[in-house]
Structure 1
Amino acid sequence: MKVREATHDDADGIRRVADASLEATYAGQLGEDIVAAAADEWYGADRLADRLDADDVVYLVVVDSDEVVAFSESELDVRQPTGEQSPDSADGVAAIQWLHVHPDHRDRGLGGRLLERTETELLERGANRVEGRVLAANRAGNEFYQASGYARTGQRTLDIAGETYTEHLYVNLPADEAAELTEEHEVDGDTVFVAYDERERGSEAPFYAAYNTTDREERYGFYCANCGSLDTSMDSMGRVECSDCGNKRKATRWDSAYL
Structure 2
Amino acid sequence: MGLWAYVLYLAAVYHPMEIREATDSDADAIRSIAHDSLNSSYTSFLDEETIDEAIEQWYGESFADELADDRTRFLVVERDGEIAGFSQSELVGQQANTGRLLWLHVDPDHRGDATGVRLLVRTREALLQAGADAIQCFVLADNEGGNEFYRAHGFEQAGQRDVEIGDETFTENIYVESDLEDDGEWGAIDELTVDGETIYVSYGEAARGTRAPFYTAYRSEDRRDRYAWFCGNCDSIDNAMDAMGRIECNNCGNRRKATRWDASYL
TM-score band (shorter)?
A: 0.5 to 0.7
Return the letter of the residue paired with 1:41.
Answer: Q
Distance in structure 1 (CA, Å) of the matches to 2:91 and 2:82: 27
Say if 2:54 and 2:165, in contact at 8 Å, map to a contact too: no
1:136 correspondence with 2:151 = no
Partner of residue 58 from structure 2, selected from 26, 38, 42: 42
1:10 correspondence with 2:15 = no
**Structure 2 CA distance for partners of 1:158 and 1:124, relative to 1, 3 Å:** closer
Say if 1:11 and 1:48, in contact at 8 Å, map to a contact too: yes
> Which residue is equivalent to 2:115?
110
> Which residue is equivalent to 1:70?
85
Say if 2:53 and 2:166, in contact at 8 Å, map to a contact too: no
> Which residue is equivalent to 1:119?
124
Return the letter of the residue paired with 1:134.
Answer: V
Instruction: Give the percent of matched residue pairs that are identical in Structure 1 and Structure 2.
Output: 44
> Which residue is equivalent to 1:58?
73
**Structure 2 CA distance for partners of 1:151 and 1:98, relative to 1, 3 Å:** same
**Structure 2 CA distance for partners of 1:2 and 1:173, relative to 1, 3 Å:** same
Distance in structure 1 (CA, Å) of the matches to 2:164 and 2:21: 32
**Structure 2 CA distance for partners of 1:160 and 1:20, relative to 1, 3 Å:** closer
**Structure 2 CA distance for partners of 1:171 and 1:65, relative to 1, 3 Å:** same
Over aligned residues, Cα RMSD in angstroms?
1.9
With structure 2 as the length reference, what TM-score do the two structures score?
0.58
Return the letter of the residue paired with 1:38.
Answer: A
Distance in structure 1 (CA, Å) of the matches to 2:110 and 2:64: 25
Say if 2:162 and 2:171, in contact at 8 Å, map to a contact too: yes
> Which residue is equivalent to 1:251?
none
**Structure 1: which 5+ runs fail to align?**
81-90, 178-259
Distance in structure 2 (CA, Å) of the matches to 1:160 and 1:14: 18
Return the letter of the residue paired with 2:91.
Answer: L
Give the CA deviation at 1:161: 4.7
Return the letter of the residue paired with 1:27.
Answer: T
Q: Secondary structure at the match of 1:30?
A: coil
> 1:38-97 CA deviation, whole Å, 9 max, x = no partner?
0111111x21111111100011000011111100010112533xxxxxxxxxx7101111
Say if 1:78 and 1:127, in contact at 8 Å, map to a contact too: no
Return the letter of the residue paired with 2:57.
Answer: E
What pairs up with 1:208-247 in 2 under 5 angstroms? Answer: none
Give the CA deviation at 1:27: 2.1
Say if 2:137 and 2:175, in contact at 8 Å, map to a contact too: yes
> Which residue is equivalent to 1:28?
44
Distance in structure 2 (CA, Å) of the matches to 1:158 and 1:4: 28
Q: Secondary structure at the match of 2:174?
A: strand
Q: Which of the pair has more CA radius of gyration?
A: 2
Q: Secondary structure at the match of 1:27?
A: coil
Distance in structure 2 (CA, Å) of the matches to 1:174 and 1:67: 34
Return the letter of the residue paired with 2:152.
Answer: A
With structure 1 as the length reference, what TM-score do the two structures score?
0.60
Q: Secondary structure at the match of 2:42?
A: helix
Distance in structure 1 (CA, Å) of the matches to 2:169 and 2:87: 25
- Count of matched residue pairs: 165
Say if 1:134 and 1:168, in contact at 8 Å, map to a contact too: yes
> 1:3-22 CA deviation, whole Å, 9 max, x = no partner?
11111121121111111111
**Structure 2: which 5+ runs fail to align?**
1-16, 183-266
